[in-house]
């Protein structure tokens, strides 16, 4: 049985950075191989993890029928082949990038492709970290339906917390199932949850709520094209990620 973490939240709040730190720590805990899923067409999850993606599944979604006919295999088989081709394998973790369908196409079909890919691939890994695109898309398109740990990320702003509330409601409306709900309020001024946000955050019934401080080292990661592997061990954000994952992986 695999354990799937899905990170969702407003644009730019730190989802990809945190997802990258999750992958790094799971690797360091020896929970390998870890599967990283980039479900954001505009994402840089691969860059954050320091790998290159030659081929996204989104690009493979086009002309599936013609290609399957030409190769005399079913669309399902072709899809499995494409997923296998799109998987970037490194020593300790693998990464698959969803990309986006090119040109006009049927989104229902594209969505199904994503769902199949997530479901079938995830079964092969003990731990899976899914970095979602900003906002409600993947939830409202029902791409993410059942996860072990839903991590809602926000910044400390009102807009961020409002989005978090909407995401939470939407997850319920869409019947997203999760074992644990965790909220990470990122880039807080002093590592404390602002009083104005506390009520909202607590009303979700989340099992864990973290307030992560603004951190200079993390801020420079994207600016200097560095990866999560270069974050120092005593970084406060990484320390919190480690404490959290220790709890999850030891079943506390
Ligand atoms: N705690 C933090 N302190 C300072 N900077 C941070 C912190 N967390 C993330 N950042 C920075 O914020 C920027 C956005 O982070 P990131 O790309 O992880 O967000 P995202 O939610 O994945 O964005 P998007 O919605 O565009 O995918 C990056 O430059 C990152 O380095
Ligand atoms: Mg991102």
User: Can you give the pLDDT at residue 152?
Assistant: 94
Instruction: Please give the residue that has the higher pLDDT: either 86 or 181.
Output: 181
Cβ contacts of residue 251 below 8 Å, gap of 6+?
Answer: none
The DSSP symbol for 102 reads -
- Residue nearest ligand 1's atom 26 by CA: 12
Instruction: Please give the residue that has the higher pLDDT: either 168 or 112.
Output: 168
Residue to mutate, 12, 15, 20, ligand 1, most ligand atoms under 8 Å from C-beta: 12
- Ligand 1 atom with least separation from CA of 18: 18
Residues with CB under 6 A from ligand 1: 9, 11-17, 40, 43, 134, 186-187, 212, 214-215, 218-219, 221-222, 237
Number of H helices, E strands in the chain: 11, 8
**pLDDT tens digits, one per residue of 18-73:** 999 999 999 999 999 999 999 887 878 999 999 998 888 777 666 777 888 888 98
- For residue 60 the two structure tokens come to 């493979």
**Nearest C-alpha neighbor of 113 from the set 124, 126, 99:** 99
Q: Could you give the residue ranges of the DSSP H alpha helices within the chain?
A: 15-28, 45-49, 57-60, 64-71, 75-86, 107-122, 137-140, 158-173, 195-203, 216-223, 236-249
Domain map (residue ranges) of the chain? 3-249
Please report which confidence band the pLDDT of residue 200 belongs to, taking 50, 70 and 90 as the band edges.
Answer: confident
Give first-to-last CA distance, the chain, whole Å.
18
Answer whether 15's CB lies under 8 Å from 153's CB.
yes
**Nearest C-alpha neighbor of 153 from the set 139, 167, 143:** 167
**pLDDT tens digits, one per residue of 162-198:** 989 998 998 888 888 899 999 999 999 988 998 888 8
User: Can you give the pLDDT at residue 2?
Assistant: 85
- Ligand 1 atom with least separation from CA of 215: 3
Query: Which ligand sits closest to the CA of 212?
Result: 1
User: Can you give the pLDDT at residue 194?
Assistant: 86
Assigned architecture for domain 3-249? 3-Layer(aba) Sandwich (3.40)
**pLDDT tens digits, one per residue of 140-168:** 666 777 889 999 999 999 888 998 999 89
């Amino acid at each position: 049985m695999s354990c799937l973490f899905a990170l969702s939240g407003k644009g730019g709040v730190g989802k990809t950075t945190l997802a990258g730190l999750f992958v790094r720590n799971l690797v360091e805990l020896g929970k390998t191989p870890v599967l990283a899923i980039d479900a954001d067409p505009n994402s840089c999850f691969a860059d954050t993890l320091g790998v290159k993606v030659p081929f996204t599944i989104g690009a493979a979604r086009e002309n599936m029928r013609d290609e399957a006919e030409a190769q005399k295999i079913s669309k399902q088989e072709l899809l499995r082949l494409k997923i296998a081709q799109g998987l970037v394998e490194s020593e300790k973790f693998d990464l698959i990038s969803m990309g986006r369908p090119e040109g006009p196409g049927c989104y229902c079909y594209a969505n199904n492709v994503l769902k199949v890919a997530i479901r079938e691939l995830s079964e092969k890994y003990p731990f899976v970290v899914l970095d979602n695109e900003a906002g409600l898309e993947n939830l409202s398109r029902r791409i993410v339906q059942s996860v072990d740990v839903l991590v809602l990320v926000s910044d400390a702003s009102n807009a961020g917390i409002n989005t978090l509330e909407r995401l939470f409601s939407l997850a319920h409306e869409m019947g997203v199932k999760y074992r644990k709900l965790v909220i990470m309020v990122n880039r807080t001024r002093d590592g404390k949850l602002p009083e104005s946000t506390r009520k909202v955050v607590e009303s979700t019934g989340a099992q864990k709520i973290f307030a992560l401080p603004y951190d200079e080292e993390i801020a420079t990661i994207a600016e200097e094209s560095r990866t999560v592997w270069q974050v120092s061990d005593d970084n406060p954000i990484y320390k919190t990620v480690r404490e959290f994952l220790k709890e999850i992986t030891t079943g506390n």
